[in-house]
Amino acid sequence: MAKRTSITSGRARRAIKMGELASQVGSSYLWNQLRRPFLSVPARERELLDTHIRNAQRVVESSTQLRGAFMKLIQMLSIRKDLLPGEALDVLRATQSSVPPMSYATISEQIRKEIGKRPEAIFRSFDQTAFAAASLGQVHRAVMRDGTDVAVKIQYPGVEDTVEQDLQNLKLLLRTLQALGHDVMRQQIDTGAVYKELEQRLREELDYVNEARNMTEFGRRLGADSEIMIPRVIKDLSSRRVLTMTYVDGYPLADVMGPEVDGDLREWVAIKIHEFAWRQILEFGMLHTDFHPGNYLVSHHPRLGVLDFGSIRRFPEPVRKANVQVARAILSGDDKSLAAAMVKLGYLDRDQDAAPMVRIIHILFEPMRVDHAVDPLEYDTVGKAAMVGELALVNRLYKSPAHSVFLIRALVGLEGITRGLAVKTNYRRIFANCVERIPK
């Protein structure tokens, strides 16, 4: 297995790399624009799409070289269907795959600095090979002195420095994506709001004390649900850069997707993960924003295991209540109440025509508006996104409140999981059951 011992660092080196990336991406689109007058309409569209894909590949290549925070940022951007077309997003999603881990010597030293002793002096056993490696850290299995199976998450040394550097340099890339979102995807992207939300979530993900707090709170809120598994934090063996938690066993959610898997199990997972999502948004006012299959496990019982609590979005109570108002309006067909809620959430001004925004919500939440089984594979995601983009552009619906950035990320991730499970069921009833739990 390939090993790595450091993350590319040094502000100048990383700035040069980001500058090269932004220059390559910008130049490729400029060349595309210069060629457009000499091409037929079909050829223009084909060449523009090819340009998107080449630029996505450039971004992926840079992320695998720089690692750390930049790779995490690209992972976050890889589900933003408003920024890039599907073919380019498929390329960006390569960053979701596991990356080569740090050497054991590096990890052992990081644990010594954070906890005070090396793994051999702390645990009965410690697997020197990481079973998961990602952009900001990696995870090892271990057994405590009392026999408890645990997972130990260790942050890569120096990764905090790369966050500061990459957040500054990311602005170059976001400006390019902003132009792409406007010209190709027919979306007006508020990159300022995207940047601020990414910055806040990244800083939270670097603080494992914050992640431990999130994990404990989710465990408390979901303690009565025997079908959900939340790891328990081992406080004495955790710090800002090391997080030790009970080991949650199960199959990766991705293994449950596919027509060869038992249909009843896939339906159970689809219902459970939708319940998990809507309860967070509407009941708890806090959201596990990283909705991709790698953060979920399915056990034999069945039970749904939830992993990685670094990126949690807490909604102010007025925002949670307004989201509940939206949900109830969708179910009741009360467009007036829906419009009022969108004003409260900051998507509309009070004197603005609400009809286009109401139409957008109708399109996006179509499966929740019909009381019958819906096949997610028959829901034209690309076509619906194009309709929404056109409505937003024509009607100048440009407002993107900060609380929406990671909510959209989570819902897009949920939609991807739903399509992967390919379960035909009544999603309105799942949605309605969650709404009915909330006191009026």
* Residue 1: predicted pLDDT: 45
Tens of pLDDT, residue by residue, the chain (440 residues): 445 555 555 555 656 666 677 777 777 777 777 777 777 877 877 777 677 667 766 766 665 555 566 666 666 666 555 555 565 566 666 555 556 788 999 999 999 999 999 999 999 999 999 998 877 889 999 999 999 999 999 998 888 777 766 676 666 666 666 655 555 555 556 667 667 777 787 788 889 999 999 999 999 999 999 999 999 999 999 999 999 999 999 999 999 998 889 999 999 999 999 999 999 999 999 999 888 888 999 998 899 999 999 889 999 999 999 999 999 999 999 999 999 999 999 999 999 999 999 999 999 999 999 999 999 999 887 788 778 878 888 888 878 787 887 788 788 889 989 999 999 999 999 999 999 999 87
152 vs 243: CA distance, rounded Å: 6
On whether residue 201 sits in a domain, the answer given is no
Does 437 lie in the same domain as 379?
Answer: yes
Domain total in the chain: 3
Do 49 and 180 belong together in one domain?
yes
Question: Are 227 and 347 part of one and the same domain?
Answer: no
Query: Domain with 219 in it: what CATH number?
Result: 3.30.200.20
Q: Contact, 271 vs 298, CB < 8 A? A: no
In angstroms and rounded to an integer, the radius of gyration of the C-alpha atoms of the chain is 22
Whether residue 233 is found in the same domain as residue 286: no
* 151 and 175 belong to one structural domain: no
Task: Indicate if 282 and 365 belong to the same structural domain.
Answer: yes
**Pairing outcome for strands 125-126 and 296-298:** unpaired
Q: Which residue has the tokens 């009809």?
A: 355
Tell me, yes or no, whether 283 and 405 share the same domain.
Answer: yes
Same-domain check for residues 269 and 224? no
403 and 289 share one domain: yes
Examine residue 6 and state whether it is found in any structural domain, yes or no.
no
State the first-to-last Cα distance of the chain, in angstroms, to the nearest integer: 55
82 lies in a domain? yes
**How far from chain centre, in Å, is Cα 63?**
17
In-domain check, residue 1: no
Question: Which ranges in 222-349 belong to alpha helices (H)?
Answer: 253-256, 263-278, 317-332, 335-344
> What per-residue confidence (pLDDT) applies to 283?
96
199 within a domain of the structure (yes/no): no
320, 382: one domain? yes
Instruction: Give the per-residue pLDDT at 289.
Output: 85
Residue 128: predicted pLDDT: 97
In a domain? residue 198: no
- CA 248 – CA 299 distance, rounded (Å): 9
Give the model's pLDDT for residue 182: 57
Parent domain of 122: 103-155+207-248
Last residue of a domain, one of 215, 232, 248: 248
Within-domain flag for 135: yes
Question: 171 and 47 share a domain?
Answer: yes
Residues 52 and 136 in one domain: no
What's the gap between Cα 218 and its chain centre? 18
Indicate whether 333 belongs to any domain.
yes
Question: What are the pLDDT digits (tens) for 107-154?
Answer: 999 999 999 999 999 999 999 999 988 778 899 999 999 999 999 999
What gap in Å lies between CA 21 and CA 65, rounded to an integer?
12
pTM given for the model: 0.77
Half-sphere exposure of 212 (CA within 13 A, CB side): 20
